[in-house]
Amino acid sequence: MVRPTHEVEYEQMLLSRHGWMNHRGGRTKDGVLERSAYILLSRIRIQGPMSIGELSDAFGLDASTLNRQTAAAMRAGLVERIPDPDGGMARKFRITDEGARLLDQERQGLIDALDRVMADWPEDDIAAFASYLRRFNTGIERIGGRPWPRP
């Protein structure tokens, strides 16, 4: 018997293959943010400046991976290191104006693409779909013990 979760798995696999929805990774010459930079900037924007340790806890990644990602983001001018605003010892990363501009640009591009995909969907269907995605993501976050802050 095929359960509905089989369909969810298959549709999720198909969703992940759609290149126009996937960030190509890194900041390219045309100003596109790589996927890791997009996620990093999104987290720092919603949570505020974060240290490597806080980022490691938030993402469940080791410090060396985050050191590479933040170093690349710094070289690209997307984040900067600042003293801890709360007086702690660890320096924190915050988004630069350029990082915020590119994050907004990338997010708007994705929203525009979603608007095209869902152009013939009723608003109620889009709202229901968003609600199901949020519920799905919060279930994953609950199991992983790493909730993502939401606006």
Please check whether residue 92 is in contact with residue 50, taking contact to mean a CB–CB distance below 8 angstroms.
yes
pTM: 0.85
Beta strands in the chain (DSSP E): 79-82, 92-95
Helix axes 35-47, 63-75, angle to 10 degrees: 90
- Higher-pLDDT residue of 140 and 29 is 140
pLDDT at 123 over 50: yes
The H or E element that residue 120 is part of is: none
- Looking at residue 81, what DSSP letter applies? E
pLDDT digits (tens, 9 = 90+) for 11-23: 888 887 776 555 4
Mapped onto helix, strand or coil, the DSSP state of residue 121 is coil
